[in-house]
Amino acid sequence: MKLKEALKGVLDENELTKLIKSYDLIGDVIIIRIPYEVYSKREIIAETLHKIYPRVRTIAAVPLYAHTDELYRTRDVQVIWGDENLETTHRESGCSFKVDLKHVFFSPRLSYERMRVAQKVLPTETIINTFSGVGCFSILIAKMQPQTKIYSIDVNPYAYEYMKENVALNKVKGTVIPILGDASEELEKLEGVADRVIMPLPEHAHSFLPLAARALKSGERGGGVIHYYDVSAGRKGDTLFNVPLERARDIISSAFGNSLRVELEEGRIVRSVAPRRYHVVLDLHVVRMRFS
C-alpha cells in the first residue's frame, strides 16, 4: 500500500496534497522529506510508514527545504520513530555500504547512475572519484573491474572512515585507495594519472573542472572522460544540457586554450530537485589536441 493511500481518513485532503509521496529506504532506515505544512503530523506519518514496512528500525524526517551543509553534504535529520541510531548497512548491486545518515551523504536514488558509470569503465583504467562519500561509485567499479585503480577522495572525516570500512567490507582493498582531503588539493597531487574522473557534486563541480582536466593522462594518447555533474533549469529535452555543456567548455577553454577539445559522449537527467530544475550528468570526452 502506498503512503498517501494509507493516510486517507487520517490526514485531510489539503494535507495529503502537500505530502511528498517519495521517501528513501536505506538499509533498515527510512528517510522522508516532510513539508512544513504537515510537519506537525510527522509522528502519525511515521507510524503509518512502519505499518507498511514493519521491519524498519528507524524512521527519520528531513524538512522539505532543509539546509544542506556545503562542505560535508549532511542535512538536519530528525528521528521521528524508533531507534535514534542512524547507522545502517545498505545493500546495492552486490555491494554493502555502511553509513551513518547523520554524518555522511548517501542517496539510494543514485544507484542507477552508479551502475551506469561503472559499466563504462574499462579494465586497467585509473580513476579519480572526487567527492566520493562512503565510496559507493568507487567500490562498485572495483567489484566490476578489479584490475582498475581508484583514488577515492572526500573531505568529510566521517565519510572517510566509513569508506575505509566499506573497502574492507567489500574486499576491494588495494583497488580503491581512500583519501581524506580537499578535492582541489588532492587533484593537484594526481596530475596526469587518470583515464576517468568522477565529479558527483552538482552545485560545485564546475569549480574543479580545470583540475579534473589536468588530472587526465597527458601525452599523445592523453585525455579521458570526466563525468561532470551540474544543475540545469528548463524543460526536459536535449536543450537542458546545452547550458552546462557550454559552461564546461568555457571553463576548460579559459584554462587550457585550444589545447583540449571537449566532446559530449552522453547527457542524462539524474533526478529532479525542484520544478523544472534538475541534477544532470554530462560524460565529457576530453581530447588533447596535437599540433604539427
- For residue 37, the SS3 value is helix
Name the phi and psi angles at 177, rounded to 5.
Answer: -110, 100
Amino acid at 169: L
Q: Is the pTM of this model over 0.85?
A: yes
**What is the rounded CA–CA span in Å between residue 32 and residue 88?**
16
Going by C-alpha positions, the residue among 145, 198, 133 that lies closest to residue 172 is: 145
Look at residue 292 in the predicted model and tell me its pLDDT: 47
pLDDT, mean of each 10-residue run, the chain (292 residues): 87 88 94 90 94 96 68 83 97 98 94 98 97 97 98 97 98 98 97 97 94 89 91 87 96 95 96 89 92 51
Domains of the chain: 3-85 (3.30.300.110), 103-288 (3.40.50.150)
Nearest by Cα to 179 from 191, 195, 193, 190: 190
- What is the model's pLDDT at position 153? 98
pLDDT at 28: 98
